[in-house]
Amino acid sequence: MPPRIGVNFEIDDNKGPIIDTPIRSLEQVKQLHDMDFSKAAEATLAAAAAAEAAARKVMTAAKAVLVEAKTAVDIAERSPAPRGQTKRVVVDGAQAKAKAANAGLRQAKTDLAAKQATLAAASEAHTAATAATTATGSGAEAGGSAQGGGGGDGGGDQGGGAGPSGGDGAASKR
């Protein structure tokens, strides 16, 4: 039996399975190498964008609920109490609803911030995966050009010319 090379993926929040896939051949390594990670990153980015958009909608709804609850408090404070209730009970109930709505808005803001951070991370991962896919696809282009540099009056670390602005590439002290 050939030696096992394992690929382990562990999920931090323990909500999903731990994947342990033994790699037993060079062909499997090639398959891993040929995977298009940019497509996976694109799907992750789309999911993160959808989650962020949903969090924005929840926050908008939470703001509307808070406005409605504050309006109910104002109405309760200005109008007489319904038959069989004291005004204080009505006002306290409206204020409790406003307090709960405010807590809901704070939670929605926290959730939105988390979704925005996830979206930013997914965007960076997508950019990196796309760059890596492009780099592996274009070999020599990914390395850039090692030529060039210098220019201008001749010198610096490129070595100078024979002219008056040349030099030997080292700083000269006079």
What is the reported pLDDT for 36? 67
Cβ atoms within 10 A of the Cβ of 22, count? Answer: 11
User: Which amino acid is located at 127 in the chain?
Assistant: T
User: Which amino acid is located at 162 in the chain?
Assistant: A
Q: Give ∠ CA 135-137-141 in degrees, rounded to 5.
A: 55
Tell the residue number behind the tokens 């010198």, with chain if given: 155
Low pLDDT (below 70) residues in the chain: 1-26, 28-36, 136-174
What is the reported pLDDT for 23? 58
Tell the residue number behind the tokens 């080292």, with chain if given: 170
Task: Express each pLDDT in 25-59 by its tens digit.
Answer: 667 666 666 666 777 788 888 899 999 999 999 99
Domain ranges of the chain: 1-33, 37-135
Q: Which CATH class is domain 37-135?
A: mainly alpha
What is the reported pLDDT for 142? 41
Task: Express each pLDDT in 73-83 by its tens digit.
Answer: 999 999 998 88
Cβ atoms within 10 A of the Cβ of 173, count? Answer: 4
Distance between terminal CA atoms of the chain?
72
Q: Using CA atoms, how far apart are residues 67 and 60, in angstroms rounded to an integer?
A: 11
What is the reported pLDDT for 140? 41
What is the reported pLDDT for 24? 64
